Amino acid sequence: MSRRQLLAMIGTAAGSVAMYNAMTSLGFAQESTYSGPIKLEGDPKGASVLILGAGLAGMTAALELRDAGYKVQVLEYREKAGGRCWTLRGGDKYVELGGAVQDVKFAEGNYINPGPWRIPHHHYGVLDYCQRLGVKLEPFMQVNHNAYLHRTDAFDGKPQRFREIATDYRGHVSELLAKVVNQNALDETVTADDAKLLLESLKTYGVLDENYAYVKSDDTSEFRGWDKPPGGGVDGAPVPSEPIALSDVLQSRLWANLVTGDSIDHQGTIFQPVGGMDMIAVGFEKVIGDLITYNAKVTKIDQNDTGVTVTYVDSNGAAGEQTATADYCICTIPFSILGQIEHNFSGEMTSVIDSMSYAGSVKFGLEFKRRFWEQDERIYGGITYTNLPISQISYPSNDYFSDGPAVLLGGYGWGATAYQFNALPPEERVAKAVEYGAQIHPQYTEEFSNGVAVTWHRVPWVLGCYGIWADKEAQYATAAAMDGRTLMAGEHISYLPAWQEGAILSALDAITRLHKVVVGA
């Protein structure tokens, strides 16, 4: 079984969180290797580079090559830069593959990021470019203990507070392990001194009593919440809450999402650009926008011993072909699109391009008349997880306590779920997201205003979320190698797939190797 098949099975059976954790374990998601601004030393002697695609990979390459003295031109399919670094706001119009049109009706200041929506603390490349380009960042709330864990087949479908399941699961497991230690059942692996320390740590970690039992108490209520919280005055004494029985916690399977925020890509601190993820693209455009030709749909790539010629047409349908020529090419076009473009790459490169599939994903941006999750349920940022097809609900990490309408990420699904939503027209996708979300937040029905739903297999400029290798071990070196006068770059040419950091690192690696060739020549 290939890694691709395994991940597809995990995604279908267990959802996006399980699939991402599997990606991390298999080496698909790793810490960034970015070590600081790139230095391209040596004279390029007037060499020219044509960059295909103005996503983060393309714009990173354009910025650094221009600063190193290269003549640079960028061809971009869309009317603006960013690629998958994309934000939808009120007044925007999105036309998906098949012609369905979504008019975004969000109130001023509200937005949804259909693509990347958070920046981990260890994605040093993205963070460095944000700082250099003046892109303001703010904290993104990944884990909120006051958000919910939900399954339709657990607790009669009633959502449970994250903190209650997390505390009870930790407490019960700690009690069980303490019993094992007290029965001297770990003699072969734990010394007497270590066993004593282990018991002490379990008592603290699991909030156990003096008998190493996890029971209803003031101490446990400090973590899982109170039945009646501490107050003031005559009737201010708190009433501790009753823990959920171990069997009920285990049978609920709500523990499956407790560790999501513990993976390195989701540990605090996480960031988001103020005003939307595409503020990063805007930052790049301010400094290299003059290098970009917009609405340029590439139809042919032809390279020979002396250079690269690219034919393109107006992506809006205007008649007439144009060409752009350069000594070298950095191609960041996703392989899902590149495979449909006439080219004369090597047979080995063509085989890799044609074999790569792209993951399906769906995101919902739902605007509500008021921030009921804050006002009614005291949820400020963070994520609620569910086994419903929407998979999760992410609450905005900005503009807390503000009046008026606000936008939730009303669902983020992968695998089979994404294919199912892909088959529906946009308005039905949104209606389904509202229907499912109402099982967690009954306020949905009355408070919903409008929404958008982006299925990534219908996004015309990428036709998928991120690249999936048929055989990465055998194909990666070929895809990353210089093919004639062209180098590939993008998240798909990295070990950080689906992340902006992977795109940036890929671009920096490609231009470093290109520069060695140019200076050497």
User: Tens digit of pLDDT for each residue in 316-359?
Assistant: 999 999 999 999 999 999 999 999 999 999 999 999 999 999 99
Indicate the pLDDT class of residue 483, thresholds 50, 70 and 90: very high
Higher pLDDT, 190 or 331: 331
What percentage of the chain carries pLDDT values higher than 70? 94
Pairing between β-strand 357-358 and β-strand 148-150 as defined by DSSP bridges: unpaired
- pLDDT value of residue 521: 84
- pLDDT value of residue 20: 46
* pTM summary value: 0.92
- pLDDT value of residue 26: 47
Q: What share of the chain is helix, strand, coil (3-state, %, to 5)?
A: 35, 20, 40
Q: Are 411 and 393 in contact (CB under 8 A)?
A: yes
- pLDDT value of residue 504: 97
User: Tens digit of pLDDT for each residue in 78-123?
Assistant: 999 999 999 999 999 999 999 999 999 999 999 999 999 999 999 9
User: Tens digit of pLDDT for each residue in 432-470?
Assistant: 999 999 999 999 999 999 999 999 999 999 999 999 999
Cβ burial 114-131 (10 Å sphere, 16+ → b, else e): bbbbbbbeebbbbbbbbe
Indicate the pLDDT class of residue 295, thresholds 50, 70 and 90: very high
Q: Are 202 and 196 in contact (CB under 8 A)?
A: no
CA distance 382 to 363: 16
- pLDDT value of residue 345: 98
- pLDDT value of residue 3: 54
- pLDDT value of residue 35: 79
The structural domains of the chain, ordered by start, are 1-30 (no CATH), 35-79+294-357+466-520 (3.50.50.60), 88-146+267-276+360-458 (3.90.660.10), 161-248 (1.20.1440.240)
Indicate the pLDDT class of residue 17, thresholds 50, 70 and 90: very low
Is residue 25 pLDDT above 60, yes or no? no
The answer, yes or no, to whether the previous bond of 269 is cis (omega within 30 of 0) is yes
What percentage of the chain carries pLDDT values higher than 90? 89
- pLDDT value of residue 1: 52
User: How much is the mean pLDDT over the chain?
Assistant: 94
CA distance 330 to 334: 12
Indicate the pLDDT class of residue 179, thresholds 50, 70 and 90: very high
- pLDDT value of residue 21: 46
Averaged pLDDT for residues 386-408: 97
CA distance 259 to 170: 12
Is residue 9 pLDDT above 60, yes or no? no
Averaged pLDDT for residues 31-56: 91
- pLDDT value of residue 37: 86
Indicate the pLDDT class of residue 32, thresholds 50, 70 and 90: confident
Indicate the pLDDT class of residue 5, thresholds 50, 70 and 90: low
